[in-house]
A and B are shown apart, each in its own frame.
Chain A
Amino acid sequence: MAFLEISNLQKDYAGNRVVENFNLAVEQGEFVSFLGPSGCGKTTVLRMVAGFETPSSGMICIDGKDVVDLKPNQRNIGMVFQAYALFPNMTVAQNLAFGLKVAGKPKAEIDATVKEMLALIKLEELGQRYPFQLSGGQQQRVALARALAVKPKLLLLDEPLSALDAKIRVSLREEIRAIQRKLQITTIFVTHDQEEALSMSDRIVVMHKGKADQLGTPFEIYNQPKTRFVASFVGTINVLEGQVLDAQTGRFSLNGAELNLGRSLGNFKAGDSIALALRPEAASLGSTLGKSAQLTGMVQDVNFLGSVIRVRVKIGESSLSLDAFNQPSVAPPKAGDTVIVSFAPEELLLLAN
Chain B
Amino acid sequence: MSTITESAGATAPIPLKPRRSLAWLGILPFLLFALLFLILPTMNIVIGAFQNPAGELTFDNIHKLFQPSILASYWISIKISLASAFLGCLIGFAIAAAIVLGGLPNWVRSPIMTFSGVASNFAGVPLAFAFIATLGRLGLVTVLLRDWFGINLYAHGFNILSFWGLTLTYLFFQIPLMILIITPALDGLKREWREAAAILGANGFQYWTMVALPILWPALLGTFALLFANAFGAVATAYALTGSSLSIVPIVLFAQIRGDVLQDPHLGYALAFGMIVVTIIANTIYLWMRARSERWVKS
Contact = CB atoms under 8 A, between A and B. Distances in A.
A73 B202 contact: yes
A41 interface: no
A210 interface: no
Contacts of B195: 50, 52, 72, 79, 81, 85
Interface string B181-207: 000000000101101111111110010
A131 B195 CA distance: 18
A72 B215 contact: no
Interface string A108-146: 000000000000000000000001100000000001001
A82 to B, nearest CB: 8
Nearest to B211: A87
Interface residues of B, number: 23
A282 interface: no
Nearest to B215: A89
B210 A98 contact: yes
A305 interface: no
Nearest to A84: B192
A88 B299 contact: yes
A73 B198 contact: yes
B74 to A, nearest CB: 35
B20 interface: no
B295 interface: yes
B198 A72 contact: yes
Is the interface on chain A under 10, 10 to 19, 20 to 34, or 35 or more residues? 20 to 34
A81 B196 contact: yes
B296 interface: yes
Contact of B199 (A79, A83, A84, A89): A79
A102 B190 contact: no
B202 A87 contact: no
Contacts of B295: 132
B298 interface: yes
B198 A83 contact: no
Given A83-B190, A85-B193, A71 B296 contact: no
B199 A78 contact: yes
A105 B192 CA distance: 24
Contact of A87 (B193, B201, B203): B193
B292 to A, nearest CB: 10
A150 B243 CA distance: 63
A226 B190 CA distance: 40
B184 to A, nearest CB: 16
| Residue of A75, A102, A131, A143 ringed by the most chain B CB atoms within 10 A | A102
B202 A102 contact: yes
A77 B199 contact: yes
Contacts of A332: none
A76 B299 CA distance: 27
B200 A146 contact: yes
A69 to B, nearest CB: 15
A99 B190 contact: no
| Residue of A71, A73, A131, A146 ringed by the most chain B CB atoms within 10 A | A73
A102 B206 contact: yes
B298 A132 contact: yes
Given A89-B211, A89-B296, A132-B296, A73 B201 contact: yes
A166 interface: no
B41 interface: no
B126 interface: no
A40 B119 CA distance: 46
Nearest to A89: B214
Nearest to B217: A89
Contact of A98 (B192, B197, B298): B197
Given A72-B195, A81-B195, A85-B192, A150 B214 contact: no
A14 interface: no
Contacts of B206: 102
Contacts of B214: 89
A85 B299 CA distance: 10
B200 A102 contact: yes
B201 A79 contact: no
B203 to A, nearest CB: 6
A83 B194 CA distance: 13
Given A81-B192, A89-B214, A102-B206, A150 B200 contact: yes
A150 B201 contact: yes
Nearest to B192: A85
A103 interface: yes
Given A83-B190, A132-B299, A50 B199 contact: yes
A43 to B, nearest CB: 12
B55 to A, nearest CB: 53
Contacts of A89: 211, 214-215, 217, 296
Contacts of B197: 87, 98, 102
Contacts of A71: 198
Interface in B207-243: 210-211, 214-215, 217
Nearest to B196: A85
Interface string A80-101: 0101111111000000001101
B215 A131 contact: no
A230 B243 CA distance: 79
Interface in B259-296: 295-296
B190 to A, nearest CB: 7
A78 B195 CA distance: 11
A87 B199 CA distance: 13
A150 B206 CA distance: 16
25 contacts: A50-B195, A50-B199, A72-B198, A73-B200, A73-B201, A73-B203, A79-B196, A81-B196, A85-B190, A87-B193, A87-B196, A87-B215, A88-B296, A89-B214, A89-B296, A98-B202, A99-B200, A99-B201, A102-B197, A102-B210, A132-B296, A132-B299, A143-B196, A146-B200, A150-B200
Interface of B: 190, 192-193, 195-203, 206, 210-211, 214-215, 217, 295-299
The 7 closest A-B pairs by CB, nearest first: A132-B299, A85-B192, A99-B200, A88-B296, A85-B196, A72-B198, A89-B214
